[in-house]
Copies of this chain bind each other. A is one copy, B any other.
């Protein structure tokens, strides 16, 4: 296979940026991701690629739940804040205000313009990231915003 062509063609898939949040007993987790797509209308399902060795994936699998916080245009700082290890201090997640999701108890970022809570249904463990399939069970919109895209950030994660 032509590795350069593989990289170029896969990098033509457009992506947004999202913070996946989790809660397992007293521990909370959060990680910025871009590999996500809807995969069904009825029931509403999404599929995500999540790092196989990540605490966020371990939490999601153990608790069976996670949330996807959808970032808005201009929120690069919020995206980059969750590339770092997660810390919950004074009720703030890496410094950002959160509330508990009604359906799952998972922390939701108040700054994100929209979010959805998910119930994990299937995991395909085949690569360095695992494929997580999940049903959307609750959702909310805080304000109108175009999404933050990888293109807006000028970075790639893929290829």
Contact = CB atoms under 8 A, between A and B. Distances in A.
B41 A114 contact: no
Contacts of A70: 9, 12-13
Contact of A43 (B46, B124, B126): B126
A126 B137 contact: no
Given A5-B141, A14-B147, A47-B49, A131 B128 contact: no
Nearest to A8: B141
Given A10-B116, A14-B147, A47-B131, A40 B126 contact: yes
B116 A6 contact: yes
B139 A133 contact: no
Q: Size range of the interface on A?
A: 35 or more
A101 to B, nearest CB: 12
A44 B10 contact: yes
Interface string A7-34: 0111011111000000000000000000
